[in-house]
Amino acid sequence: MLPARTLPVSPACTAVSEVTSRLWRVERLRPRTIAGYAIGSVGTGGFGTLPGLMLLYYLTDALAVPAAVAGLVVTGAKVWDVVIDPFIGYGSDRDLVRTGSRRRFMTIGAVAIPVFFALTFAVPAGASTVAASIWVLVAFLLAATAFSMFQVPYIALPAEIAPTYDERTRLISWRVATLAFAILLFGAGGPVLRGETSSLSGYLTLGVVAGLVIGAGMFVASRVAPRGARAAGPTAPLPPGAQAAAPAAAVSALGAFRIAVAEAVSTLRRSQPFRVLLTAFFLQALATGLMLAAANYVATYVLESDLAVSLLFAALIAPALLVMPLWNRLARRVGKERSFVLASALFALATLCMVPLAWAPGAWVYLPTALAGVGYAGMQALPLAMLPDVIAHDARTTPGVADRGGAFSGVWTAGETTGMAFGAGLLSLVQWVTGYQSSSAGVTPEQSSAAIDGIALSFSLVPAVLVALSLVALVRYRLRRGDIDVPTEESAAHERP
């Protein structure tokens, strides 16, 4: 009998083989892997929500730090990510080559973050505003570093464990559904855990409990990172996705940082789809960061109800949980890029409808908030599902350039966290211009009408404008399904955990 490789194969058989191979690969992405990866969003959702929701308010209304200074503290600590994230991305790629896994970085972040997160909300009673500002800045900077140790390799994983266009959408959809649940849990439950009096002891309880939950979610997700055999020599095989080469010789921290920056700049320069997607996501992170930071102030000074902040989060996130599968379906039918444009346009329209909140506050605001939640679900799921496509497309189409998943995710995380931080900074700038009055814990000062209007517009008009600008960037995104799922000889042999 002739060897199998010499038998003629018809085009139809080749096509069936390709489809069967793809279906087989989808089955290999086990529910346990999907669930473990999704649980990581309990950690990312908690860290993304609570500091954005509570930290500026904690500084201005519990520690009596002036709004402008508080904005600098929050923004400065998060802008640190611009420096550290590309470095962590480089280190994660290097660790992948050396150990066959991104697990070590993720585990370090998961273990460290409960300590630093709790310390952020543990300013001693009686501390001066200067001492309180420095305490929060240092503790939150360390917490942000621990978070990046987890988040950067976490974002790089989908390109390695889910190799197809639709399978990445499926993986990310479950992750973002969990993210939406985590935002609802922390956003609505955080104020309850802190207590209505907003005492320093309440904030400490919040920091300890939330830090432990965040760390636990991250630790579970770190177990999903594929484990590979440590390379024994130059000819040792590397696991899938481990093509990102790093210099074998040890380099100094400064040298490693320079390499990391060079790789970050290189990813931005050579990948037009990545530049477009990152620009849109940055503007949307700026918008959502602004709304997140403003929510507590809207509840206290516009709606005049401590319960309102929990209701706002419930109105925003509950619809997101319900419609997440619909965005997944739509993405399969018309493409992720078109679905992302639709979700963004819906969010911009909904926030624009909230503008009357400035002069006619009332419970009606929960209706456009729910509509914004429908768009928010797509704005979270779709770009995160598009990012692995961009990474895989770059690895396949750039001659002589190996897979740099960590470099891409490092730049992405830096852009996202900086956008969220600038959102809080933008709110503090508005507060400074409009004459917002800071206070100590348990004291609610009388605010001027200009300050209240500034808070209301920061929650409505400004986010609408920012998301509208992101749509201008999105129209230049060029990747489609046919650019991603290109049959290759290697695709049938690609394996996942």
Domain residue spans of the chain: 31-227+257-484
The answer to whether the CB of 281 falls within 8 A of the CB of 416 is: yes
Domain 31-227+257-484 = CATH 3.20.20.370: no
Annotate 431-467 with b (16+ C-beta within 10 A) or e (fewer).
Answer: bbebebbbeebeeeeebeeebbbbbbbbbbbbbbebb
- The angle at the Cα of 467, spanning 461 to 468, to the nearest 5 degrees, equals 85
Neighbours of 230 (CB within 10 A): 9
Residue 495: what pLDDT? Answer: 37
Residue numbers in the chain where pLDDT is lower than 50: 1-27, 229-251, 488-497
Residue 440: what pLDDT? Answer: 63
Residue 233: what pLDDT? Answer: 34
CA dist 326 to 179, 319, 340, Å? 16, 11, 12
Query: Of the candidates 470, 456, 460, which has an alpha carbon nearest to the alpha carbon of residue 343?
Result: 470
- What is the number of alpha carbons within 13 Å of residue 259 lying toward its C-beta? 19
Annotate 343-367 with b (16+ C-beta within 10 A) or e (fewer).
Answer: bbbbbbbbbbbbbebbeebeeebbe
Total length of the chain: 497
3 state DSSP class of 244: coil
The answer to whether the CB of 383 falls within 8 A of the CB of 340 is: yes
Residue 117: what pLDDT? Answer: 96
Q: How far apart are CA 28 and CA 390, in angstroms?
A: 22
Q: How far apart are CA 456 and CA 396, in angstroms?
A: 47
Q: How far apart are CA 235 and CA 257, in angstroms?
A: 27
Residue 163: what pLDDT? Answer: 67
Amino acid at 110: A
3 state DSSP class of 440: strand
Residue 399: what pLDDT? Answer: 63
Query: Of the candidates 86, 87, 91, which has an alpha carbon nearest to the alpha carbon of residue 104?
Result: 91
The answer to whether the CB of 319 falls within 8 A of the CB of 377 is: yes
Per-residue model confidence as pLDDT tens digits over 364-421 = 999 999 999 999 889 988 888 888 888 877 877 776 555 566 677 778 877 787 888 7
Q: How far apart are CA 374 and CA 392, in angstroms?
A: 29
Residue 488: what pLDDT? Answer: 47
Residue 490: what pLDDT? Answer: 43
Neighbours of 26 (CB within 10 A): 15
